[in-house]
Amino acid sequence: MRQLAIIPHPDAKITLFSWNGKYLIKLEKGPFEQTYKVSELDLTGEEDVHLLLDDEFVQAAVRRFVGMQQDLQAAFDRHGI
């Protein structure tokens, strides 16, 4: 796996990788991460990945991080951990 870029964003760490004919878009926030795999054949180049990472996409991912935290906390609560 080859790291192509770290894309600055105030709400999440975004790293772009190339691996096995795919672009991997990894978003991290605290202990959580989301990875999106996009075939290199679906895009004309790395620049297209940057277009995908518009504000609407990133904000949806950030909301998903909130949901992930809530799901994990609910599991802790259910089991008294």
CA-to-CA distance for 27 and 39, rounded, in angstroms? 17
Residue 1 three-state SS: coil
Q: What is the pTM of this model?
A: 0.91
Reported as a single tens digit per residue, the pLDDT across 47-79 is 999 999 999 999 999 999 999 999 999 999 999
Looking at residue 51, what is its pLDDT?
95
